[in-house]
Amino acid sequence: MVALDIAGFLHDGFALREHLAAFLTLPEEELETRMAAATDALAQLQPTALDEPGCERFYESEVGAGHLYELAGWHLQSADYIADTLRVQMTAAQGDHLDFGGGIGSHALAAAALPQVRRVWMVDLNGSNREFVAWRARRVGLEDRIVCCRDLSDAQLPGRFDSLTCLDVLEHVPDPAALLSQLADRLMPEGGVALLNWYFFKGFQGEYPFHIDDPALVQRFFEVLQERFLERFHPYLITARTYTLRSRG
Ligand SMILES: C[S@@+](CC[C@H](N)C(=O)[O-])C[C@H]1O[C@@H](n2cnc3c(N)ncnc32)[C@H](O)[C@@H]1O
């Protein structure tokens, strides 16, 4: 039985090694080797262009299963940080909850286990990530509470969400301001809560060549953030922020 609370995450990332090894049918030692090499391997895989087709191709096809190793290595190595984001998520998630760019599903699983959450809608361009999260949901008995979709145009998705998580994704999309507007349009105007963070930087050693850092795009992002969202205080992490929508009267 996997405990989907903070202690359970700090213990073993919600059985992450075991889940990934079983999903990929890999011996655990090989998984360790691949996770250790994954950040460098991903940085070698430069996207050909950071425009919309380039980003889509990169995350949907070129990265493939490589992102599973990279994200798993990161969640296990930086478990204290991820646990803090889960703590913040507990203050925000409710009702129909969107996890946009949900990756390997740590946040989706934790949200789906919360009594105040009706269903988690995990959206991710990467098919390996979606299959892994759906597999994990079945493995922990939450398959009725997590639905995985490729993008926001999927007709299964609710028109509006009661809450949303979009963590470590905004710097990966070609136009972060456009995504932020879309997220604002899909959040409940009354009582909806968004959990967001961003890192518009390619890294001190250039280790994140695929991150968006164009100053004009970043400025537009902050303009939309300030037009559409009002920050809410929480006591856990200053890099992951929660928001309600400003009224558009
Ligand atoms: C750095 S990972 C973050 C994953 C997860 N949110 C976390 O915090 O571990 C970025 C994720 O965004 C997804 N992604 C990138 N562009 C996307 C897009 N346009 N639509 C949906 N998902 C996208 C990637 O496939 C990847 O899973």
Residue whose Cα lies nearest atom 3 of ligand 1: it is 168
Spatial contact of 100 and 166, defined as CB atoms under 8 Å apart: yes
Q: CATH number of the domain at 6-245, out of 3.40.462.10, 3.30.160.40, 3.40.50.150, 1.10.1660.10?
A: 3.40.50.150
Q: How far is the CA of 124 from the centre of ligand 1 (A)?
A: 6
Say what the pTM is.
0.96
Q: Domain boundaries in the chain?
A: 6-245
Measured from the CB, is residue 212 less than 6 Å from ligand 1? Answer: no
User: What's the pLDDT at 249?
Assistant: 65
pLDDT in tens, 47-73: 777 788 888 888 888 888 888 999 999
Measured from the CB, is residue 193 less than 6 Å from ligand 1? Answer: no
Closest listed residue to residue 83, CA positions, set 242, 205, 243, 240 = 240
Measured from the CB, is residue 101 less than 6 Å from ligand 1? Answer: yes
Residue 79: Cβ within 10 Å count? 18
Choose one of 124, 151, 170, 211 to mutate for the ligand 1 pocket test, by most ligand atoms within 8 angstroms of C-beta. 124
- CA dist 242 to 67, 85, 102, 194, 223, Å? 26, 11, 17, 5, 17
CA 106 to chain centre: 9
Spatial contact of 50 and 212, defined as CB atoms under 8 Å apart: yes
Residue whose Cα lies nearest atom 21 of ligand 1: it is 124
Average pLDDT of adjacent 10-residue blocks, the chain of 249 residues: 95 97 92 86 73 84 87 95 97 98 98 98 97 98 98 98 98 97 98 97 90 96 98 92 90
Measured from the CB, is residue 165 less than 6 Å from ligand 1? Answer: no
